[in-house]
Structure 1
């Protein structure tokens, strides 16, 4: 591995380098390869390759779709702080208003005033209260709220009741708030409904009266779902009674003021600034998906892509587009939101055939094999509320209804408008207020929609309609020397990307590509492939993960069957796939009808075959595979089922056997059966122009990447070429990359077993080499070779492709060996200032040796304690009660069962008090004090930002390295005071060497390492490292040899390095 300390000199400007740049772009990696070209455009050598590793734009498991924004935790914490602060200001405002009206005693501290007032009221009503136990502290405010309904209270008693009413004001939905899961909304509504029923059963007029009737020892008062309306009713009731006795205090103006202070809810902050820009109309915002126009836009696009296959009486059939009349009929049915749709507002192939009155044996091809298509979801949901009135509205009135539902925040306001303007009943109006329409936005603005729709309604595809409406879109613009930052791009689609994963990947792509251009000039072509996780949406990734988990269960069951029936302990992947295919086809060859036995299946009598030949489809998935008797497979000779059998008497039987696939594998099996019937024309339509299809991935992220790189050439297609139009940016689909890697023996470069390894970050560079060489010519040759290929033992086609040039494999090996993996480092001063747990100040304790030892106290839930923490409970009486309860429920291992079955402490009057939280004593953890006055709290400082390394000469002349750890909180304080984040000064005796943060690269023990973390004594820490090429998770890497101490680093002469995006090694000069 090359570890030069200086940057590779750039290519002299007068030297023209022709090369193609291959890029493998993932969610946290960029692999790249510059392959030199001859003057005729043929590859003849590898200039250089590299890998760039970075943190993905989101955190969590991206592959499974369980990732979340890196800002989510910070945003939620900020929201929580704001809510707490607003609640505090609201309560303080109400407290001051009540004091100014002489409804509360004077005093600056709310807690002290209320505690003293409660004590006075308890003493005054001691006889009426009947007891002075701990439960009365909970019930007293509720009793005051109850008494206020029937009798005159003193001003302070009324003020106490009103202030208590203001402390919690119940749930009030905001129709424009972020949509929550149905089960969450249902839980709230169910809780409120249950509470209302209990109030009705007990005859309670108000919420306070109901809570006053509850014994808090037997049943909790808090942690119930309440509605804002309950509190408003109670406030009005109390005010109505007390104003009769003191009209001078309880005036109408004061009522409006105090009511507004208690119940006012600030409107949500407008999110219009986050709406993306229209991809066709510059400066226009995208249209909401719920608009009737947007819904019809989706419908018409879908209908225009539908193909129908009608079977004639003689068995022949044709595949055609819908006629104009059929299109109009289907669009009208889908757009009306009528009864032709299912309960989700969708319709499947059978429903489409019914609408179009097509024969039952005809087939509907929905383009991407979707089982169902969307109707007008907006009209469908609103029709269910308006019923027949919906058809009586004009189109303009319907659009106004949609606008009302989308824009009116207050449910009560929408109910009133629905009753007054749209003449709905009370019940219908309330349903409308609860109605949620499809969230999100389409890619076009309303203005662009109005221009594109007329062309779509003529039957054109979206691409054709877009060109007709906006003929200048996509035309070449001036080429750029380097890629600009995304937010500076002239392309609207790039400047307004909201996907953080795509944004981060494209940003790192820019750094790599621009660095390559500085070294070698602009490439002749760029070929790029995107990882599946980057191309798929979060929802798609979730679905894929669920499907993979389901498939894994089937594979495990297949292995168990192989073990039971064939005695094979470790079956190959191919053997497992054979069993799954056999189960799908009912252990009967779909072509010959022969019965398949386990012995014949694993012994080679039956073979895996592609339904549509691999040389045509390049589809090696389970969805394109089945089994075939070996001799019959050779006779079939790489032809589709239709080509081989449609003219034979056995054809109906073959189709009947294929139809049974869906019994075992559902939709996958149904689609397979459909493939059996594909005619040569259908196969040609689906797989035509293989090279163009492989090098033109049209998915969202792929289009963005191609458009971004196209800025270097004035567009993906360079029209500046005098000899003709040339596609400068080619986006591969990745179906043949693995096959070419196998064919050219590139897997062995990083793994002697000949299987691709993902444990080495350089595997991205290997893929990039293949991507760079995946030219139309290579794809054509691969297609030809695939027609002659045979299955090898592992169930894969053995495709032989000669290397691009004679010394290719050795050059690739040498190039990969020279790769210095570049890791992006983020030294941003951002994150949580401290941990969330609050500790007590240091409490001194005298130990057995007479020395003061500092400890701290912290509160924890009793069911979250370990046994050691149980022994550390501060209060000895509580400690014994908890230990006795643990023994009662089964001992130390059953502590979690204390949740809901709490230990009980008996008060002096015998009232049981559940012990839910306890104070435990812990060693003197390093904590800091934050806040001031009553808000002061002691917390752990949180994560470290960096560590500063110094050398110091000791009195004996020995030079030692010492470290100083800087927490994130300290780094933020330095920035706030406009001081250097990295402080190079200590005490005059220490000389600064360098600083390290997570992700930095160092040279140690003749290798390059990434700093993962450090631990132990802050002045003499121990580090955890990982080799720069190691892609394994931290827990998977052996610890041996990668945990040096600071003194180890000193002895080896450790140096901090800077690795450029393309792997040039520079001195850090920190």
Structure 2
């Protein structure tokens, strides 16, 4: 925001300079600066009024035109306004009120209206009386010309020719925001078209009197004042299947299509309809027939959404039938969102669906491209035959946002296949992947060419995934493009650095195993959703723990899981929870006895699926009868085993009440369905997320893609626990003592309590890395046969007997690598500007030094202490008296201050108090002064904010000291200097030498508690003359951990002054990608 404000200010200053030069050139301003300054004393509003009715001197005309440039009005842009922000809505409402007010006042131009606002209280009172009378006679509902005529007639009747005298009590002419909480509103808001209209009227009125006011001069000056840069086109990714090889303007169909496009909507609807399957528990799943699928497509094309209940009715399916895309969170399929919005009765209405597809496409593309609303409305009226109100409604319609992964070229080839072709068995046409293949596209195709020796910048190899400039003169990120998510961008960059360093030292890889952390895999919204889900699970497990305690059972992981699975037998009625296989009732007491087992619905030996989604509770004897079979294999024939009969129809009926992610496991084709979903090896060795696929494609630049495994986190988590690796890190019992219970309570799966990994230690990633590296096909086949049915757990031996001890020894020697950040880029200073006081001013009688800064703040945002820092002592006393009086009545401070904002009966705040000036005290070293360009004298200052680095130096007498370098100073370019800034210590301490330059995040090796340790600098505490450090492996919320009781978490900050660091023999070091420690030369 600050950068945007600076840009707007710079552009305004440049525009003002160009305008002044043009006005002088065309004789509308004097060439002498002194003469121009003399014109500043004229009232520009009166000049703007007079310019419409009488001949003015040329320089007075120029003064009026110059004033138009000062606030040239809000220019609506549909591409941004259609985001429907609160601010934009407030501006549009205020602009509409302004037009109504101008009509009421018969103000020909905005200048006339503003000139009137400079008039008296008598004027304002008269306006109020007119509005009240208009309401009394029942005509306040009128708008436009009708309201204008009624207003003029009423004014003449009530006040006749009574003319107001100017200057009695001026009113504001600036559009000011009225802030209430987080909402803003405006009394009025000028728009650009009003200023353009006034400019033209002034020019038309004055041009006959001044020969220099030619049409060429008019065009030049109007362009300077009113030109606005077009919005920078958003960067759109290339089509996944048929990427463009030329810029967007030359080949738009090779770039991703907007979801609002009718073809993109049709593509999505057809893809979902063709992939839709019907499921009936016990009978498996089946695809829709071509006729059924077409009926679904027609329903979706004709509606905003269609619920699955409506689809069951439409397809005449039984109530218990479900769809593969249906879930508790997804209860409907989205229809044609674009058509639903444009066919609104106040827009195109029913006529929209009768338009040819080509015509719909042309209209939507116009809606997506148009920037100026007025031009679009004219086009909709002229070319589409809409009435003005309907055209305005359509122009303001918010279309679906975002882009499809495919471009229009690929969509146009795939849609006909999705729409028309039948599969070989006569069911609905091919799904998306099959249709893409038939259209000649291959999702698995990797970049062509030989394998490389080293990983290149990811944008070079993944050219279809990012958009770059293509200009070889640009830096790589700009030339080839980069992912907008900084976490992904940095993560892939670190992957390249680590991989290339390994290749340089050990040669090319034969196999690659990789696992991604959740921080990389999930988007921000997905992380929020995961946290929400974890909180919900945590609350549920806390309730279950209380339930177990009530019945006298321990709240251990197994009992908690049993209780959860028991609830899933019947979510609605706890008194009707039966064993799925036998139909016998399971009470909570029976549940927690030895009679009830936890069963894997699909055998673990077949699936390696030990998650809660593959588990139910059942009677132990039924579990023994089921053995290592699927439910349908064990009971599909309704057998009698050991004198007990199992009725498959009843089993299927009970299974239909289970959660959706369990029902399909009871189908006759459960094994085939499991294989279709990826099977055993594929599911464990290939994570299916977008980033995982991308990384596999990227690493394919240096090795065979078939030898790259992207291992899911759930597998490494299980192996880490089975091999006892969670307890390897020091303090795991401390760091986990609270989180162990919390992590289990937040878990959605069963956790064998072999310990929870210490996430407060960066080295847990190294343990995961080893486990991922050891995960391959041979290990997984061993796991398939390693499940102990009796003990209900995997028994997996480590790959070699001493693995745990070897890893422990490696962890003890391991030093975590931290990415250095020594760039001078960043926030130069804090946002608030302060005025500099020439003489310190006392805030109160006890203030010795006095304040050296002054700044403005909205009156309603003051706190109690800030009231006593109001600069104007008389105003300070008045505000304090008012607030104290209101507080005595029980009114909150904010509300009391808000009373002063608008016009009131208060004798001292009759016209309202919007802002006050406050005093502040700050050390000069912490300020960034800004000098006047003409005088060179500082006139304002900013708080310096965060320091860039600290230079530690040793004085001639052997003492260590330091000087903080502000980021603002670090960005000053000193010609010929090796460093961006020349610190004072070099001149103040002759004979001193630089010891080290320390940035936040740097590593320092030092002696502490008799040991050599490597610490990370987390805070440059220049005010206290030292650093706040922590061991290289420590992570998490360190301030919170520091404040935690030592018995729970022994972590403590190391606070070290500059002098203490010398005693500790501190030296700067860096750790490379392979964990090797290198000492850094301070120079």
Distance in 2, matches of 1:996 and 1:268, equals 42
1:944-997 Cα shifts (integer Å, max 9, x gaps):
22222222223xxxx112223222122211366664348699245112222111
Deviation at 1:694, TM superposition (A): 1.4
Q: Is 1:680 matched with 2:679?
A: no
Distance in 2, matches of 1:362 and 1:799, equals 36
Q: Is 1:86 matched with 2:11?
A: yes
1:489 to 451, 455, 461: 461
Distance in 1, matches of 2:214 and 2:649, equals 86
Q: TM-score, normalised by structure 2?
A: 0.75
Residues 895, 708 of structure 1: CA spacing in aligned structure 2 closer, same or farther, 3 A cutoff? Answer: same
Q: Is the Cα–Cα contact under 8 Å of residues 589 and 628 in structure 1 kept in the other structure?
A: no
Q: Is the Cα–Cα contact under 8 Å of residues 305 and 367 in structure 1 kept in the other structure?
A: no
**Alignment match, 1:405:** 367
Deviation at 1:930, TM superposition (A): 2.0
Deviation at 1:90, TM superposition (A): 4.0
Distance in 2, matches of 1:454 and 1:246, equals 62
Distance in 2, matches of 1:859 and 1:1050, equals 45
2:451 to 457, 479, 492: 479
**Alignment match, 2:325:** 366
Residues 981, 467 of structure 1: CA spacing in aligned structure 2 closer, same or farther, 3 A cutoff? Answer: farther
Greater Cα offset, 601-610 or 818-827: 601-610
1:773-799 Cα shifts (integer Å, max 9, x gaps):
1212222232333362645xxxxxx32
1:637-682 Cα shifts (integer Å, max 9, x gaps):
5655555665557666666666666xxxxxxx45555655575356
Q: Is the Cα–Cα contact under 8 Å of residues 860 and 901 in structure 2 kept in the other structure?
A: no
2:878 to 861, 881, 901: 881
1:194-247 Cα shifts (integer Å, max 9, x gaps):
555666778777666387265899999632558988563476468658966884
**Alignment match, 1:1000:** 1002
Q: Is the Cα–Cα contact under 8 Å of residues 608 and 783 in structure 2 kept in the other structure?
A: no
Deviation at 1:463, TM superposition (A): 4.3
Residues 562, 112 of structure 1: CA spacing in aligned structure 2 closer, same or farther, 3 A cutoff? Answer: farther
2:176 to 222, 225, 233: 222
Deviation at 1:768, TM superposition (A): 0.9
Q: Is the Cα–Cα contact under 8 Å of residues 309 and 318 in structure 1 kept in the other structure?
A: yes
**Alignment match, 1:968:** 967
**Alignment match, 1:498:** 483
Distance in 2, matches of 1:676 and 1:881, equals 78
Residues 177, 1027 of structure 1: CA spacing in aligned structure 2 closer, same or farther, 3 A cutoff? Answer: same
1:484-527 Cα shifts (integer Å, max 9, x gaps):
12233375336544243222111101111111222222222101
Residues 168, 1067 of structure 1: CA spacing in aligned structure 2 closer, same or farther, 3 A cutoff? Answer: same
SS in 2 for 1:293: helix
**Alignment match, 1:1009:** 1015
SS in 1 for 2:76: coil
Alignment of 1:15-164 (within 5 A): 76-91=1-16, 108=33, 116-118=41-43, 141=45
1:248 to 204, 209, 222: 209
Matched positions, count:
929
Residues 270, 95 of structure 1: CA spacing in aligned structure 2 closer, same or farther, 3 A cutoff? Answer: same
Q: Is 1:532 matched with 2:518?
A: yes
Distance in 1, matches of 2:596 and 2:877, equals 71
Q: Is 1:301 matched with 2:283?
A: no
Deviation at 1:929, TM superposition (A): 1.8
Distance in 2, matches of 1:161 and 1:907, equals 37
Residues 247, 764 of structure 1: CA spacing in aligned structure 2 closer, same or farther, 3 A cutoff? Answer: same
Q: Is the Cα–Cα contact under 8 Å of residues 944 and 967 in structure 1 kept in the other structure?
A: yes
Distance in 2, matches of 1:352 and 1:195, equals 50
1:174 to 59, 69, 77: 77
Alignment of 1:788-799 (within 5 A): 788=789, 790=791, 798-799=793-794
Deviation at 1:539, TM superposition (A): 3.5
Q: Is the Cα–Cα contact under 8 Å of residues 606 and 630 in structure 1 kept in the other structure?
A: yes
**Alignment match, 1:743:** 722
Q: Is the Cα–Cα contact under 8 Å of residues 906 and 913 in structure 1 kept in the other structure?
A: no
Q: Is the Cα–Cα contact under 8 Å of residues 947 and 1020 in structure 2 kept in the other structure?
A: no
Distance in 2, matches of 1:879 and 1:562, equals 62
1:269-316 Cα shifts (integer Å, max 9, x gaps):
2345x54465544615413233333333333433332223479xxxx7
SS in 1 for 2:515: strand
SS in 2 for 1:833: coil
Residues 783, 191 of structure 1: CA spacing in aligned structure 2 closer, same or farther, 3 A cutoff? Answer: farther
Alignment of 1:281-680 (within 5 A): 281=243, 283=245, 285-290=254-259, 291-309=261-279, 317=283, 319-331=285-297, 334=300, 337-338=301-302, 341-342=303-304, 346-353=305-312, 362-366=321-325, 371-384=331-344, 385-452=347-414, 458=421, 459-467=429-437, 469-470=440-441, 473-474=445-446, 477-489=449-461, 491-493=463-465, 496-500=481-485, 501-558=487-544, 565-566=550-551, 571-572=555-556, 582-583=566-567, 585=570, 586-587=573-574, 588-591=576-579, 609-612=599-602, 615-619=605-609, 623-629=613-619, 632-633=622-623, 636-637=626-627, 642=632, 669-672=659-662, 679-680=669-670
Distance in 2, matches of 1:397 and 1:598, equals 64
Runs of 5+ unmatched residues, structure 1: 1-75, 122-140, 662-668, 717-726, 792-797
Residues 804, 849 of structure 1: CA spacing in aligned structure 2 closer, same or farther, 3 A cutoff? Answer: closer
Higher RCO (CA 8 Å, separation ≥ 6 residues): 1
Distance in 2, matches of 1:617 and 1:353, equals 32
Q: Is 1:232 matched with 2:218?
A: no
**Alignment match, 1:770:** 771
Q: Is 1:1029 matched with 2:1037?
A: no
Distance in 2, matches of 1:309 and 1:700, equals 28
Q: Is 1:209 matched with 2:91?
A: no
Residues 617, 173 of structure 1: CA spacing in aligned structure 2 closer, same or farther, 3 A cutoff? Answer: farther
**Alignment match, 2:711:** 732
Distance in 2, matches of 1:535 and 1:853, equals 53
Residues 528, 103 of structure 1: CA spacing in aligned structure 2 closer, same or farther, 3 A cutoff? Answer: same
**Alignment match, 2:899:** 901
SS in 1 for 2:2: helix
Residues 921, 907 of structure 1: CA spacing in aligned structure 2 closer, same or farther, 3 A cutoff? Answer: farther
Residues 670, 319 of structure 1: CA spacing in aligned structure 2 closer, same or farther, 3 A cutoff? Answer: closer
Q: Is 1:1046 matched with 2:1058?
A: yes
Residues 186, 677 of structure 1: CA spacing in aligned structure 2 closer, same or farther, 3 A cutoff? Answer: farther
Deviation at 1:747, TM superposition (A): 0.5
Q: TM-score, normalised by structure 1?
A: 0.76
Two-structure CA RMSD over aligned residues (Å): 4.4
**Alignment match, 2:130:** none
Deviation at 1:440, TM superposition (A): 3.3
Greater Cα offset, 471-480 or 414-423: 471-480
**Alignment match, 1:827:** 822
Greater Cα offset, 232-241 or 873-882: 232-241
Deviation at 1:83, TM superposition (A): 1.6
Q: Is the Cα–Cα contact under 8 Å of residues 241 and 441 in structure 2 kept in the other structure?
A: no
SS in 2 for 1:116: coil
Q: Is the Cα–Cα contact under 8 Å of residues 590 and 658 in structure 1 kept in the other structure?
A: no
